[in-house]
Amino acid sequence: MFPAVILTITKMAKIDKPLYIAISLDIDPDANSAVEGRHDALSHPLKDGRVSIEACKMGLQKTFDLLNKYNIEATLFYEARTAQMLIEDGLDLPKLSERHEVSCHSLKHEDFLGKVSGLPMGKKSIEEVVVKAREILKKMFKREIKGFRAPYTRINQPVVKVLERLGFKYDSSETVSFGAEWVGNPFPLEAYDSGLMELALPCFYDTKGEKMSSYLWAVFEGRRDFGEYIDAVLRVKDMANGGLFIFSTHPWHLYVDCTGRPFSEKQARSNLQNLEQILSHLSQVHGTQIIRQDKYMEKWLVKQIPQSLQSDPVR
């Protein structure tokens, strides 16, 4: 009986610490880009001065269908302006987003750091933008907004300080190499003198030793095969120890490339098939569990309490 007990405990310990996987969507304008001289983003081609959401709308509907088909709860980083435009265009976003987490991806995809715009934003204007975006999303979806992903995944100290002051529970903009030193655990943004927790995006290496990001754009641009992303998960899952591996995608990227050029019908079909393959495989990998980022954060916080009690000698 004794060995059986040990076996059960070992099994439980393994099941207890899967590699958690999050599927996140950055829901923003088609083929968007920062523009010199203005804070907000426009869609390519920039000379048209337009913001378009046609591809985003089609891609988002298809992505929702696939998430439902594979019973996946995702994290949706909404740019508030895009969410408003999608609703005006007839999408019932609150209903479609019901089972997913709704998080914030800025108001109009602001270039907070001014890297392209040439206009770095100060704390006050960053705060105005984030407060407004969060209010719009709160009203639209009738729930608390806990997470934030910065446009272009670019943050600095003023951005982080604003998020912390506004009570966000986590940021998810940094990219960290997944490996021996970091296996996907949340960490405080001490580099920005902040206690705000970061759920970082992983980068990793393919079998040839080339660096990959967990953004799926390279699949849609025909530069990578869906299997490379599944391989990456298989390679890292045993070192995960309860860490989180976040995938990200832009719904518009199923239908237009980064320069706003529409994909051929054949390419769009293949993009959709690739996305389906990724979701279907990820939902079946043994020793992993797909989770929303807010639920992962809650789980992780609960785990921190017993650990701190254990380390307290008085108890």
Q: Which stretches of the chain bind Zn ion, using CB under 5 A?
A: 26, 28, 151
CB of 149 to Zn ion, least distance (A): 7
Torsion of CA 251, 253, 255, 259, to 10 degrees: 140
Nearer Cβ to Zn ion, position 105 or 237? 105
Nearer to Zn ion by Cβ, of 107 and 233: the residue is 107
The residue length of the chain stands at 315
Check if the beta carbon of residue 312 is closer than 8 Å to that of residue 102: no
Residue among 41 and 67 whose Cβ is closer to Zn ion: 41
Q: Are 34 and 152 contacting, i.e. CB atoms less than 8 angstroms apart?
A: yes
Q: In the bound complex, what is the minimum distance in angstroms from residue 197's beta carbon to Zn ion?
A: 21
Our CB check for Zn ion shows the closer of 53 and 236 to be 53
Q: Which two tokens stand for residue 259?
A: 């320069």
Between 130 and 240, CB nearer to Zn ion: 130
Q: Which residue number, 28 or 257, has a Cβ lying nearer to Zn ion?
A: 28
> How near is the Cβ of 41 to Zn ion at its closest, in Å?
8
Considering the complex, state which of residue 79 and residue 164 has its C-beta at the smaller distance from Zn ion.
79
| Terminal Cα-to-Cα distance of the chain (whole angstroms) | 32
Q: By Cβ distance, which residue is nearest to Zn ion? A: 28
From the CB of 302, what's the least distance to Zn ion, in Å? 31
Residue number, 41 or 236, with CB nearest to Zn ion: 41
Residues 6+ apart with CB under 8 A from 90: none
CB of 13 to Zn ion, least distance (A): 38
Tokens encoding 204 = 């990793």
**Residue 91 to residue 27: CA distance in whole angstroms:** 13
Considering the complex, what minimum distance in angstroms separates the CB of residue 28 from Zn ion? 4
Nearest distance from residue 187's CB to Zn ion, in Å?
23
In the complex, what is the shortest distance from the CB of residue 252 to Zn ion, in angstroms, rounded to a whole number? 10
